[in-house]
Amino acid sequence: MTTTTRCNHRYPILLACLMFCGCAGWTGAQNRTLVDADPVLPSTQYSPTVRGQQQPATTSTPKAVGRPIPAPETSIKSGTPIDADLIIRGQQPAPSYGDDDFEYGRRPLPVSGQYAAENGASRASMSDSQVSPAQYGYSATPGDYGGPGYGAPGYAPDYATEYGGAEPQPPIGYALPNGMGPEFAAGPTDMPGTQPMSGRLADLIVNVREQQTGRLMFGVGVNSDAGLTGQIVLDEYNFDWRRFPRGVDDIMNGTAWRGGGQRLRIEAIPGSQLQRYLVNFTEPYLFDTNISLNLSGFLYDRQYYDWDERRLGGRVGLGYRLTPNLSLTSALRAESIDVHNPRVRGVTELEEVLGSNSLYSGRLALTQDTRDSAFAATEGYYLEVGYEQVFGTYNYPRVNVDFRKYYLLNERPDGSGRHVLGLSWQVGMSGKETPLFENYFAGGYSTLRGFRFRSAAPQNGGIYVGGEFSFLGSAEYMFPITADDMLKGVVFCDYGTIEEKIEFNQEDFRVAVGAGLRIAIPAMGPAPIALDFAVPIAREQTDRIQNFSFFVGFGR
């Protein structure tokens, strides 16, 4: 009896031990499962949209999502399958993995029209609207023909300066493979966080707010070089030439011709002394590469002091960004130039070009831009070296070097109140067969202040004929006057020479010193009012003096 009793007590104890061990093992297995499992994150519905497209409404309950299936490139959750007709640039049709809740596609490149710094910029767009040679980076040499639709080198500065336009543009926007800015210049797959990663993955929910990609702008300007001008600009940064409207609704809600990440700019600048009309198309990533394509056509009509001139032409350009600050560009241009209404007859250089002329050229340029701002730089430098070969009726080479350096001397702790020293040097050389309308000229607020527009140049027979060699420089110190930086002062020294032949004559050197004001009125647009007073201290007897120069622009 005693032995039987001991056996009866031992079995319940053994059974209890076995049950305890089983529970512990099951609990440990569950704990290991939770630790090793992929993170579980709440997910919300997301669907990429283009401008004018409404976000699809949903009443479904958010679901917990486990490990997603990796896509070839970084993916963003989309709760609604994407209509193939609504796919925008850089976005591929979302592959299905058997569940409507797992549709993935690559997020398109932002094309909301941010500026750089043209190509670069901002290469950008098209040109500066600066009002002082050193500080605001305008070309102190005659305008380079690198940009689409510009006037000839030697007398046609950036459209916003000579033409009186009110909108600032990066001076090398055309030269950049991406006209939006350096943050997007590396290409659609080089944006931060867009490279596929190995290892454990979790859903990434991105909330975005769409920005306006198109602008319709109206402006008016008056300046001492070009008189009164107006400006009408249609600028779209998310253009798509293949997206034709399927109905009136597509045009009314803004989805027609949008979504491709291309840029279309249509510009009209009528004026009292000049007229300029431009259509420009830019594909920032040609065939999804870092090569940009630029196509432009233009009509340019200018009344000069000694003759009138009309240019009709086009340009095809390619750009490639070598590094974030270094870009390589090439361009072909074709123009028909009509020179008429001469003020003086009998001058050989002018008589040779009267009537219709044709020009064809190819250009190659290397540009490095480290400035903190293309429009109002305070630090960094800009260097462009360009070579152009003209052929056809005229055959001659052209070399241009443009260098600008900016020094930040002082600023307030909050970054305002900046004191900036700007230095610039420009050298241009052209071949012996260069026609009169392609010569270099100087004079005016965009080159040599203190001299009338294009009058600081060689003269023959009573007209200014320009020259084949140009060397121009400027030193300018800008400082704040008011605490809000709305009023600034400048002191400057402009200097240089234009020579008929490629040579340097010290007796032809011009120097002017002066001071001025920069008045920033936000309601009038980004370009400040510029008022400058300059006095030539070295000049030629044939130069025409203009002590006061100004620029006033308004744009909305």
Q: For the chain, how big is the Rg over CA atoms in Å?
A: 32
pLDDT at 81: 39
pLDDT at 524: 87
DSSP 35-64: HHSPP-EE--------TTPPPPP--PPP-E
Coil, helix or strand for 196?
A: coil
Rounded (10°) CA dihedral 132, 134, 138, 142: 100
**What is the 8-class DSSP label of residue 413?**
T
Q: Which of 44, 81, 82 is nearest to 65 (CA)?
A: 44
pLDDT at 494: 98
Cβ atoms 193, 207 nearer than 8 A:
no
pLDDT at 30: 45
pLDDT at 104: 31
pLDDT at 506: 86
One-letter amino acid of 486: M
Alpha carbon separation from 178 to 115, 128, 321 (Å, rounded): 10, 17, 8
Alpha carbon separation from 493 to 450, 470, 472, 538 (Å, rounded): 10, 17, 11, 12
Cβ atoms 128, 137 nearer than 8 A:
yes
**What is the 8-class DSSP label of residue 437?**
G
One-letter amino acid of 228: L
pLDDT in single tens digits along all 556 residues of the chain: 344 444 444 444 444 454 544 544 444 444 443 334 344 333 333 344 444 444 444 444 444 444 343 433 333 333 433 333 333 333 333 333 333 333 333 333 333 333 333 333 233 333 333 333 333 333 323 333 333 332 333 323 333 333 333 333 333 222 333 333 333 333 333 344 445 556 678 888 888 877 788 899 999 999 999 999 999 999 999 999 999 999 888 888 888 999 999 999 999 999 999 999 999 999 999 999 999 999 999 999 999 999 999 999 999 999 999 999 999 999 999 999 999 999 999 999 999 999 999 999 999 999 999 999 887 899 999 999 999 999 988 999 999 999 999 999 999 999 999 999 999 999 999 999 999 999 999 999 889 999 999 999 999 999 999 999 999 999 999 999 999 999 999 999 999 999 999 998 888 999 999 999 999 998 888 788 999 999 999 999 999 999 999 999 988 7
pLDDT at 254: 81
**What is the 8-class DSSP label of residue 144?**
P
Cβ atoms 461, 489 nearer than 8 A:
no
Residue spans of beta strands (DSSP E) within 152-270: 214-223, 227-239, 262-269
Q: Which residues, 6+ apart, have CB-to-CB distance to 28 below 8 Å?
A: none
DSSP 433-490: T--GGGSB---STTS-TEE-TT-SS-EETTEE--BSEEEEEEEEEEEESSTTSSEEEE
Encoded tokens for 521? 């009125």
pLDDT at 164: 33
Residues 386 and 374: their CA atoms lie apart, in Å, by 19
Residues 68 and 46: their CA atoms lie apart, in Å, by 15
pLDDT at 12: 47
Q: Which residues, 6+ apart, have CB-to-CB distance to 540 below 8 Å?
A: 456, 508, 510
pLDDT at 86: 38
